[in-house]
Amino acid sequence: MKQEITFKINGEACRVEVDPTWTLLYLLREVLELTGTKEGCGYGECGACTVIVDGQAINSCLYPILEIEGRAVTTIEGLRKPDGELHPLQQAFVNKGAVQCGFCTSGMIMSAKALIDENEKPTEEAIKEGIAGNLCRCTGYVQIVDAIKTVAGRGRT
């Protein structure tokens, strides 16, 4: 039986009818057509589906949709400034070669953002811990960590 929920998505209020069996990932991709968030495994094992809910990075493929009621969701689409300027993390990923095929990138950037928002000056170890749940097969992670380092220490993003 469908239910109506209200929540915030990338700063905007959203009211939508959902089936309780949906995951947040399903809502984002199939209903709201925000396809920036990816499904890499569907089991919470790869992190490609990572989005931020109330400041915390979570796997949207495992997030029951009704729990989003009243919460604020940020996806990759919500990082850019209204004038189109890239978020510092996005710009750093571009500049540092942290993007190859790009499939892990959305989830990776969201994990990085959640990390830096919580811990302004993460050490290299903390950065690796922060993205340990995001698998990448292309980059070997080195340039990803570099990119996050350039933003770390600049203050809240």
Tokens of 127: 């950065």
Supply the minimum distance, in Å, between the C-beta of residue 2 and another protein.
11
Supply the minimum distance, in Å, between the C-beta of residue 23 and another protein.
7
Complex with another protein: residue 121 or 137, whichever CB lies closer:
137
Kind and range of the H or E run holding 89: helix 88-95
In sequence order, the 6+-apart residues with CB closer than 8 A to the CB of 95 are 147, 150
Complex with another protein: residue 43 or 153, whichever CB lies closer:
43
Supply the minimum distance, in Å, between the C-beta of residue 93 and another protein.
5
Complex with another protein: residue 100 or 150, whichever CB lies closer:
100
Q: How many C-alpha atoms does 56 have within 13 Å on its Cβ side? A: 7
Strand pairing partners for 3? Answer: 18
